[in-house]
Chain A
């Protein structure tokens, strides 16, 4: 297929000639970068050829995004060699990199939410593509979208789109801007399984057209499915430099990423108590503009079990979590904790032994601009427990934080570091450290390992299993079927705000769950 659409875009995009396929597109050598006294890159290398999908693999915090931000002109390197097509290419700003044909799809999208899709496209590539009118922009954008098989409304505000649609807008943006070197920073992390497969296929197609595609991921499956070659980074250094992907086993890659020790998740326990710790009886929530209403939802969570709630995102997952923790009032139905009607206030539910880990770690989870110590201290400062404190000192907060940081292996920060500077995996560990403090009997988690690397994911999952083994009832809302199958004792499917009956895990399988997820019940 060809991606160029209008004559104009044809000229601008300069499709790579098949002759250059295999030649070096990008060479980065001994690149260094420090942020203050934190070293992000400590001599990283990367070499990418035209026409290949090159996987860039590494744990959270390994420096993958930093390296690519340098290539795309967002960060300046402290040291090192950077070449594009054989010419020196240390770009001072994103604009220069983009003019040289480098397009990056960031982990956190760079879209202007209140602007429409078309306005975002005009903003980013109007000048480069030479669009003189709104109509020209619209027809070029629609042609490109159609060519890629994207169905995206052009006149809708970007912040009204789903994450996967926003990602497509980002792809349109870089391709309309004529990118020949495409950087995709963890594109599959935010997608459901079926969508992720489509995204990988697209990466393949774009490379087959002659582009160089750099695919950042920490899912080993993405690598084996799509990549030609793979580069692995660990702690700011390159440990495998462009090896053919076929020649490496998943185990070898995993070992290279984490450096020796591999991550193991223990299997969940099928036997649990008959005692019900949390029960939802016919719970419904109001229909509102952006929400999926819950419809007559019934659920019983037992002491010591992990009850998995599978389903595609946007089927009522957040609404379910928010209803259980008390942020959302049901219009009808009862929420029963330990045999009694649950208190109304979230703080009182917490008091009664409820803890939660939300999907968006910095929205409902952490205070980004507060330190780790302050984040950990917050629950101890509220609530009605006798140990509630009215007077706190930095020393007291730091002291209790240091234990948690050690126990939960929170790397990348000390007690005084602002929480927003943590990588995803460490932020998640911080939330666990705080939520697991004290006695609790009910734990609601939503997408607990989304965006985490193997080792961090294993650490988190092992914590969940350990909690269940101690008798905590764990409700695990997850969009990752593998995770649900690996950890749950029982599983139910959430679809369009309705929850199926829970089935024991050994009485169901991937195929049946997949059918329930896609077709409803």
Chain B
């Protein structure tokens, strides 16, 4: 299991984690009925803010925190447009996407391409006795561990708690939730902000663990892929683990293929995640999974006196 396969398996968690965090964050949004297409921009802000904190000598915890704060800032703007002002959610999301990617480029300009100290493993020596691929697989940094724990927490809250029930009711039928005494707007804003924190973590993971440097535009579509993964995982965070691992595996194989000296055009190899996205969406479309699990009030603003 060493060699190519071992290297591949060992590398998957780090590549899967940002997808998993972002998908989980978006599922929290969408289960409350808010479609946030700004994920790419919000993740960019998380990634750049974390790097700026590191380069300013603030340390890793502060970097993660700052990544979240920047992401929440963007998310607040989104919540204002989409939930409070009730603008078209697709449009609001696109605005945040463009603004976040643009702004991260501007403020990250003077911090770009400067390597930072990576977020290291939590238990550096704990897996010494194991086969190399297994040690490699299990030995991760705190953000990656968190990424794989969070879906279970979110699932539990969503399916087993009163809070989750209220959140789901808002996403499925906002007028009914309102009639039942749930504050629809507060619930949606809360969901959007919590989702924003998680998107910030996804961004911070990309720059602190993945690349260990800020490069303009480095999120490179992962936010969009996460939007697709929400559908693929049928709005279920546990299924999101499988979806993220699949995409992590595709992504993890790229550097290995590139360094293996295989004679395949480099662009073809780099295109793989996007091709996989198309394949996965087509698969979920064919299974008619979308119709059965999509929250019924997704992307539908709520105003009490408005006829629907």
A and B co-occur in one complex? yes
CA distance A126 to B162 in the complex (A): 9
Report chain B residues within 8 Å CB of A113: 172-173, 296
CA distance A464 to B162 in the complex (A): 51
Of B15-23, B96-104, B176-184, the stretch lying at the interface with chain A is B176-184
Q: How far does the Cβ of A369 sit from chain B's closest Cβ, in whole Å?
A: 10
Report chain A residues within 8 Å CB of B176: 109-112, 120
Report chain B residues within 8 Å CB of A76: 305
Whether the pair B175, A114 counts as a contact (CB closer than 8 A) is no
CA distance A327 to B274 in the complex (A): 38
Residue in A94, A127, A420 whose Cβ sees the most chain B Cβ within 10 Å: A94
| A111-B173, A113-B172 known; A421+B307 contact, CB < 8 A | yes
Of B84-92, B163-171, B206-214, the stretch lying at the interface with chain A is B163-171
A231 within 8 A of B: no
Report chain A residues within 8 Å CB of B307: 420-421
Whether the pair B178, A94 counts as a contact (CB closer than 8 A) is yes
**B97-123 CB contacts (< 8 Å) to partner A:** none
Residue in B169, B173, B176, B179 whose Cβ sees the most chain A Cβ within 10 Å: B179
Closest A residue to B180 by CB, please name it. Answer: A124
Report chain A residues within 8 Å CB of B175: 110
Whether the pair A95, B305 counts as a contact (CB closer than 8 A) is no
A119 within 8 A of B: yes
Report chain B residues within 8 Å CB of A436: none
| A94-B179, A122-B165, A123-B180 known; A74+B173 contact, CB < 8 A | no
Main secondary structure of the interface of B (DSSP, over half): helix
Residue interface bits B227-266, CB-to-A below 8 A is 1, else 0: 0000000000000000000000000000000000000000
CA distance A403 to B172 in the complex (A): 40
Residue interface bits B295-308, CB-to-A below 8 A is 1, else 0: 01000000011011
Q: How far does the Cβ of A457 sit from chain B's closest Cβ, in whole Å?
A: 23
Whether the pair B162, A115 counts as a contact (CB closer than 8 A) is no
CA distance A429 to B172 in the complex (A): 32
A35 within 8 A of B: yes
Whether the pair A75, B305 counts as a contact (CB closer than 8 A) is yes
A500 within 8 A of B: no
Residue in B162, B165, B168, B173 whose Cβ sees the most chain A Cβ within 10 Å: B173
Whether the pair A112, B178 counts as a contact (CB closer than 8 A) is no
Report chain A residues within 8 Å CB of B304: 74-75, 93
Name the one of A35, A110, A115, A126 contacting B179, with C-beta atoms under 8 angstroms. A110
CA distance A123 to B304 in the complex (A): 18
Name the one of B168, B169, B179 contacting A106, with C-beta atoms under 8 angstroms. B179
**A6-58 CB contacts (< 8 Å) to partner B:** 35
Name the one of B166, B168, B172, B181 contacting A94, with C-beta atoms under 8 angstroms. B181
Whether the pair B169, A74 counts as a contact (CB closer than 8 A) is no
CA distance A479 to B175 in the complex (A): 29
Q: How far does the Cβ of B195 sit from chain A's closest Cβ, in whole Å?
A: 20
Report chain A residues within 8 Å CB of B172: 112-115
CA distance A93 to B304 in the complex (A): 9
Report chain A residues within 8 Å CB of B177: 112, 123
Name the one of A98, A122, A420 contacting B162, with C-beta atoms under 8 angstroms. A122
Whether the pair A112, B162 counts as a contact (CB closer than 8 A) is no
Name the one of B168, B180, B296 contacting A110, with C-beta atoms under 8 angstroms. B180
Report chain A residues within 8 Å CB of B169: 112, 115, 123
Whether the pair B165, A74 counts as a contact (CB closer than 8 A) is no
Closest A residue to B293 by CB, please name it. Answer: A114
Report chain B residues within 8 Å CB of A104: 179
Whether the pair A35, B162 counts as a contact (CB closer than 8 A) is no
CA distance A109 to B308 in the complex (A): 13
CA distance A94 to B174 in the complex (A): 13
CA distance A76 to B178 in the complex (A): 15
Q: How far does the Cβ of B303 sit from chain A's closest Cβ, in whole Å?
A: 11
Whether the pair B165, A123 counts as a contact (CB closer than 8 A) is yes
Report chain A residues within 8 Å CB of B178: 93-94, 110
CA distance A124 to B166 in the complex (A): 9
Report chain A residues within 8 Å CB of B162: 122, 126-127
| A113-B172, A114-B296, A119-B165 known; A124+B179 contact, CB < 8 A | yes
CA distance A216 to B86 in the complex (A): 33
Q: How far does the Cβ of A279 sit from chain B's closest Cβ, in whole Å?
A: 35
CA distance A76 to B173 in the complex (A): 21
Closest B residue to A69 by CB, please name it. Answer: B305
CA distance A104 to B162 in the complex (A): 23
Name the one of A75, A124, A420 contacting B181, with C-beta atoms under 8 angstroms. A124
Q: How far does the Cβ of B229 sit from chain A's closest Cβ, in whole Å?
A: 21
Whether the pair A74, B181 counts as a contact (CB closer than 8 A) is no
Q: How far does the Cβ of B247 sit from chain A's closest Cβ, in whole Å?
A: 27
Residue interface bits A69-103, CB-to-B below 8 A is 1, else 0: 00000111000000000000000011100100000
* 28 A–B contacts from the bound complex (CB under 8 Å): A35-B305, A75-B304, A75-B305, A93-B304, A95-B181, A98-B181, A104-B179, A106-B179, A109-B176, A110-B173, A110-B176, A112-B168, A113-B173, A113-B296, A114-B172, A114-B296, A115-B168, A115-B169, A115-B172, A119-B165, A120-B180, A122-B162, A122-B165, A123-B165, A123-B177, A123-B180, A124-B181, A421-B307
Q: Which residues of B contact A (CB under 8 A)?
A: 162, 165-166, 168-169, 172-173, 175-182, 296, 304-305, 307-308
Given contact pairs A112-B169, A115-B165, A127-B162, a sample of 4 additional A-B residue pairs in the complex whose CB atoms are under 8 Å apart: A112-B173, A114-B296, A123-B182, A124-B181
Top-3 shortest CB links A-B: A95-B181, A124-B180, A110-B179
